[in-house]
Structure 1
Amino acid sequence: MKKGIIGLFSIIVIMSGCSTYGMNRYLEQEQTINTDKYAYDNENFVYDRETLQELAERFRLEDLSDSNINSIMEEEIENGNYNEIIIYLRELQDEEEEEAAAFSDRYIEALQAHIEQNDDPAAPLVEDAVALLQQRYELNPESEENLISYATVLIESEYDVEQGTELLFNLEEEMQENNEQPGRDLLLALAKAYFAAGNYEQSLEHYQTLTALDAEDPTHYYRMSEVYAAMDDQQGEREALTQAFEPTSEFLDNYGDESYHLYKDYLDSSIEDES
């Protein structure tokens, strides 16, 4: 009799184990991000599956508040994992729309980061970014932040440079008529807009204002060097690069003038980290 009970118990345990194993496999499949559906099908949209899954598990399984998750997402976007954040939030939006609403700002920031960090951003992503920012702008056209974000994406993605620059130039003209001074964000957007429009003198003027306001930010000097380069002003380009980072002079002294282009490559990678 005892032998029969032990045998029955063994069968129950085995069946329970199989059931648990099957359930775990089912849950694992349910928790795996569907990249076939939610990643952009574009060669310029590159992501790491392992990083994506690690982030998804972190957001889902840890006892985190929306504020905590937003903070983590901000850090991950700054660390270059914006494409992974985009995929995760696209799936969340599709499956849990109300929950995804808490991270809508991070989604837009991730789209913007992709556009800023890629010379040739994924076309369908650009379409989505433009549509979202246009909608946000049209809902509240009085918001300077909304206008700047929308115009900047239009310019940097080259989706509609003319419209983007027009929005910013009209805002600048309106502020001048009202004797108002633009803030740092608008000054930077205008400097980029004038550069995109081919008005290099005005672009430099705005960058010079920015360096006066924030001399510690080397990216202003670096972007000025790009303007000088477009003007074929090699001296101006070199002087701006020299001011971009404190070690410049020492670097050139140690490694010679031939290292100029090597140092410029270093600046290129540095400014990408700053964005």
Structure 2
Amino acid sequence: MKKFTVIGFLSCLLIVSGCSTYGMNRHLAEEEAIDTDKYAYQDENFTYNEETLQELAERFRNEDLSTSNINSIMEDEIKSGNFNEVIIYLRELQAEEEDEAAPFSRRYIEALEAHVQRTAEPSKALVEDAVALMKQQYELDPESEENTIDYAKLLIDSEYDVEQGAQLLFDLEENMEENDEQPGRDLLLALAQAYFAVGDFENSLERYDELTALDTEDPTHFYRMSEVYAAMDDRKGEKEALTQAFEPTAEFLNRYGDKSYNLYKDYLNASIEE
């Protein structure tokens, strides 16, 4: 990975007459570049594109963009797979300009979650930092459903402490039941995944059934259900769930042929990773 320094600039100061406008501009660009040696996680499981990182940093620093604009751009970049680049940028911003980083705290959490969920072997150092951050956030407001779900899902997805993460969600569900409250989509999905993670397949399927009733046109719930049936070695249930998951492909198959099946399967895989 490329390391940026100011050596060229210091040398230029010694021979001012030899410093061209090009040289000064180059120095300014180097000074604004993200220090990846300092703000990127230095292990093989944390990969990023240097050029993409610096281009995104330049976009995020655009004074013509509002905070809302930047948040929207970051959200899109995380979804498109540039979550590690967003993490590096926000780590530097947090260290250098803490107040400026505050409006993007949600994007930082989403980027960390994306790394854990979409990386085969997440960076151990990143997981440690993410757990510490989300634990602190949770402890500041343990009554917050969003904080609880964030923290619990990270513990489960990273396998840092599956049992603790699942229990946090089960306790939240129990408290809601005692208060005659109904869990929303985010909690139902987290619960379905938590029950699956601890091997309680029946309860996992029940939560997915509730989700399919709420989101009748979302095929990813059926796709996830097929994974639960597969773990139960229930081939009939797995086949039925997959049939429902791929039902929307019928029109594509008729119009575009069998190749569209793989396109739709790729879409489902990408959807459940977001």
Q: Kindly provide the amino acid, as one letter, of the partner of residue 55 in structure 1.
A: L
1:146 maps to what in 2?
Answer: 147
Length-normalised TM-score, structure 1: 0.86
Deviations 1:136-156 (A, max 9, x none): 110011111111111111011
Going from structure 1 to structure 2, the CA distance change for 1:270 and 1:17 (only over 3 Å counts) comes to: farther
- The SS at the match of 1:61 is coil
Report the alpha carbon displacement of residue 269 of structure 1 after superposing the two structures with TM.
Answer: 5.7
Q: Which residue of 2 aligns with 1:270?
A: 268
1:77 aligns with 2:78: yes
- Structure 2 distance, partners of 1:90, 1:77, is 15
1:228 maps to 2:226: no
Residues in 2 aligned to 1:88 and 1:110: alpha-carbon distance in whole angstroms = 11
User: Which structure 2 residues correspond to residues 1-275 of structure 1 after superposition, within 5 A?
Assistant: 18-248=19-249, 267=265, 270-274=268-272, 275=274
Q: CA deviation at 1:252?
A: 9.0
Which structure has the larger Rg over C-alpha atoms? 1
RMSD: 2.3
| Partner AA of 2:58 in structure 1 | E
Structure-2 change in CA distance of 1:264 and 1:222 (3 Å): farther
SS at match of 1:40: coil
Over 3 Å counting, the alpha-carbon distance change for 1:216 and 1:266 in structure 2 is closer
Query: For the residues of structure 2 that align with 1:31 and 1:139, how far apart are their CA atoms?
Result: 34
Q: Which amino acid aligns with 2:220?
A: T
Q: Deviations over 1:198-234 (max 9, x none)?
A: 0000000100110011111111011101101111111
The answer on whether the counterparts of 1:242 and 1:249 sit within 8 Å (CA) in structure 2 is no
- The separation in 2 between residues aligned to 1:273 and 1:137, in whole angstroms, is 27
Unmatched runs of 5 consecutive residues or more in structure 1 = 1-14
How far is the alpha carbon of 1:160 from its aligned partner?
Answer: 0.4
Separation in structure 2 between the aligned mates of residue 92 and residue 33 of structure 1, nearest angstrom: 10
* Structure 1 stretch displaced more, 16-25 or 106-115: 16-25
Q: Greater shift after overlay, 96-105 or 185-194? A: 96-105
Which residue identity lines up with residue 186 of structure 2 in the other structure?
Answer: D
Deviates more, 1:135-144 or 1:234-243: 234-243
Alignment partner, residue 9 of structure 1? none
Give the whole-Å Cα distance in 2 for the aligned partners of 1:174 and 1:82.
Answer: 34
Compute the displacement of 1:267 (Å): 2.9
8 Å Cα contact 1:117/1:272 also seen in 2: no
CA distance in 2, matches of 1:273, 1:212: 19
Return the offset for 1:195: 0.2
Cα distance 1:39–1:231, how it changes in 2: closer, same or farther (>3 A)? Answer: same
Report deviation, 1:179. 2.2
Separation in structure 1 between the aligned mates of residue 97 and residue 17 of structure 2, nearest angstrom: 32
Alpha-carbon shift at residue 270 of structure 1 (Å): 2.9
How far did residue 60 of structure 1 move? 1.7
**Distance in 1 between the 2:249 and 2:96 partners?**
51
8 Å CA contact retained: 2:249, 2:264: no
Alignment CA distance shift 1:107-1:208 (3 Å): same
1:106-160 Cα shifts (integer Å, max 9, x gaps):
1111001111112321111111111111111100111111111111110111000
For residues 31 and 113 of structure 1, what CA distance do their matches in structure 2 show?
A: 26
Contact 1:242–1:248 (Cα < 8 Å) also in 2:
no
C-alpha separation in 2, matches of 1:42 and 1:270: 30
Whole-angstrom distance in 2 between the partners of 1:238 and 1:248: 15
State the identity %.
70
Give 1:247 shift.
Answer: 4.5
SS of the equivalent of 2:188 reads: helix
SS at match of 2:61: helix
User: Quick check: which one's helix share is greater?
Assistant: 1
